[in-house]
Structure 1
Amino acid sequence: MDTQFLHTFVAVVDQGSMAAAARLLNITPAAVAQQVRTLEREIGAPLIARAGRTVNITEAGSRILERARQLLRDVTDLRAVATDDATAGELRLGAGNNALTGMLPDILARMVEKFPRIQVFIKPGYSPELYRSVEGGELDAAIVLQAPYALPKTCDWELLREEPLVVLAPARMAGRDPHELLANEPLIRYDRSQWGGRQADQYLRLVGITPRERFELNALNAIAVMVDRGLGVSLVPDWVRPWPEGLQLVRLPLPRPFEPRRIGIVWSRSTIRIRLVTAFLQEARAAMAAAQAAGRG
């Protein structure tokens, strides 16, 4: 079986049409269709259902899709292993929403400059599911919150950044007591079903504040905009930039010491791409050191 045909099949599924896949692969739509038909004959089942200019994946296609992706990744890994090139191949990463726009771009900029042959797949998600993906071997590493439980022996975790809780308030409230704001102003609560939101809830319980809750959500940038619009105040980690532009906010430190939110990298010790993971760790450390030196850490 020609792995290029598998690559074409995956491209058709991802792009949603033969024409789009052809543009991506720089071949003709007729060549795409021929490769898919050849693959279907070899597999012995239809994989794509044509519907006008678009396509839908069949049940048989759905069953082999993830295995096809994994096989293509393994082929890339084999090339890297055969050449003993520590900086070639695909690195599979996960990252939370704030890390996607804050920490990860700086790290990847360093990676691309130093290791131009590396390819990176990025899966967005919440920390609990990203941990599961790393533990299960779907991802090599992920930028996540520190887990509130012991990791399995197959995984490691390294701290990159600490984010203390702050009271986020409109700029006109600068100078007011943070506890007084939390007790008397409407609260835009950081979602308690998430690890970061639980920390904020624990602090409120610790200091005996029962807030006047107005909203609850797991979207820090949206919370910042809502505070700017005068909808309330919030208790959130002091997350990494960029923030939405043009907001008139103050970040008030808490009167009582409390554990910060800790963000780091979790990775699988057993991944065949451990050399790529090691390179990613090195560039992550360097990017965080540079951000701290520039006053952005």
Structure 2
Amino acid sequence: METNYLRSFLLVVESGSMSEAARRLGLTPAAVAQQMRALERELHASLLARSGRTVQPTEAGHKLVGRARALLREWGDIQAWVGKEQTGGELVLGTINTALHSLLPDILARFVRAHPGVRVVLRSGTTAALYQAVQKSELDAAVCLYPPFTLTKTFGWALLRQEPLVLLAPHRLAGRDPHELLRTEPLIRYDRSLGGGKQADRYMRAAGITAQERFELSSLLAIAMMVSQGLGVALVPDIDSPLLAGQRVARIALPLDTEARQFGVLWLRTSPRLTLILGLVQSANAVMALRRSRKQ
């Protein structure tokens, strides 16, 4: 079986179109269709069904999707193991959205310079979902928050940054008392199903603050943009993102002690891609050291 045919099949399923898959692969739609027919003949099953201009996997196609991904990853491991692709392979990396908007682009830029042959697959999710995926070996590693429980020794953890809560307020309100602002200004609340949102909720309860809630959402970047537009104030983790630099937002320290959320890299110590994971951690630590030196 041609492993490239499996890659083409997964791309057709992902894009829902043979034409789009062909465009991404640099092939003609006819060539991709021929690959799909060859794959169906070899497996003795119909894998794709047309629905208008799109294609959808059949029941047999759905069965193949998960096994095909696992097979391709295993094949990549075999290639690396026998030395045909010593600097290559694939790293499936989970990430929370905050990381995508802050540290991860710089970390990946350094990582791919050190490992130019590696293909990195990014999958976003909540910390809880990413932890479970790492535990099941569905992800090689995750850039996420430390879970709300103690990790067992089977996991590796590299702390990159601690992020205390701060109050984001429109620039014109800089210098005002943060508790007064929380009581009097509309609140743009960070999603309470997320770790940072739960921390903010606990802080306001401890301070005896009843806020005037206006919005609740999960994107810290969107929250900062809404604060910049004067739509309210927000109690959020103090993330380090260049995307916030252009916003007219004041970061106001809080008078009470706050629990800082811990932000880092999580992985299984028994992972077959441990060398690549440790390379990623090394890149992450280098990026964090550079950022700290710039602030001194």
Place the TM-score, normalised by the shorter chain, in its bin. over 0.9
Shift of 1:48: 1.0
Q: Please list every run of 5 or more consecutive structure 1 residues that lacks an aligned counterpart in the other structure.
A: none
Shift of 1:205: 1.6
In 2, distance between residues paired with 1:218 and 1:30? 43
The one-character-per-residue Cα deviations of 1:222-246 (angstroms, maximum 9, x if unpaired) are 2112222222211111112123564
In 2, distance between residues paired with 1:295 and 1:97? 24
**Aligned 1:28-177 pairs, distance under 5 A:** 28-51=28-51, 53-83=53-83, 87-177=87-177
Equivalences, count:
296
Q: Who is 1:264 aligned against?
A: 264
Q: Who is 1:292 aligned against?
A: 292
Q: Are 2:101 and 2:243, in contact at CA under 8 Å, matched by a contact in 1?
A: no
Superposed CA RMSD in Å reads: 1.8
Change (3 A) 1:139 1:244: same
Q: Are 1:165 and 1:235, in contact at CA under 8 Å, matched by a contact in 2?
A: yes
Change (3 A) 1:84 1:273: farther
In 1, distance between residues paired with 2:78 and 2:292? 38
Q: Are 2:94 and 2:122, in contact at CA under 8 Å, matched by a contact in 1?
A: yes
In 2, distance between residues paired with 1:142 and 1:274? 13
The one-character-per-residue Cα deviations of 1:245-272 (angstroms, maximum 9, x if unpaired) are 6422111001122211210111111221
Q: Are 2:156 and 2:267, in contact at CA under 8 Å, matched by a contact in 1?
A: yes
For structure 1, which segment, 6-15 or 271-280, has the greater mean C-alpha deviation from structure 2 after superposition? 6-15
Q: Who is 2:23 aligned against?
A: 23
SS across alignment from 1:288:
helix
In 1, distance between residues paired with 2:162 and 2:155? 21
The one-character-per-residue Cα deviations of 1:172-209 (angstroms, maximum 9, x if unpaired) are 11111111111222211111111111111111122222
For structure 1, which segment, 42-51 or 135-144, has the greater mean C-alpha deviation from structure 2 after superposition? 42-51
TM-score between both structures, scaled by the size of structure 2: 0.94
In 2, distance between residues paired with 1:277 and 1:246? 33
Q: Who is 1:226 aligned against?
A: 226
Q: Please list every run of 5 or more consecutive structure 2 residues that lacks an aligned counterpart in the other structure.
A: none
Shift of 1:5: 2.1
In 1, distance between residues paired with 2:142 and 2:112? 18
In 2, distance between residues paired with 1:86 and 1:277? 15
SS across alignment from 1:208:
coil
Deviant stretches of 4+, over 6 Å: none
1:4 and 2:7 aligned = no
Q: Are 2:189 and 2:216, in contact at CA under 8 Å, matched by a contact in 1?
A: yes
In 2, distance between residues paired with 1:64 and 1:218? 34
Shift of 1:2: 2.5
SS across alignment from 2:252:
strand
In 2, distance between residues paired with 1:54 and 1:189? 39
In 2, distance between residues paired with 1:194 and 1:86? 39
Name the amino acid aligned to 2:71. L
1:277 and 2:273 aligned = no
Q: Are 1:98 and 1:240, in contact at CA under 8 Å, matched by a contact in 2?
A: no
TM-score between both structures, scaled by the size of structure 1: 0.93
SS across alignment from 1:258:
coil
In 2, distance between residues paired with 1:166 and 1:41? 60
Change (3 A) 1:159 1:28: same
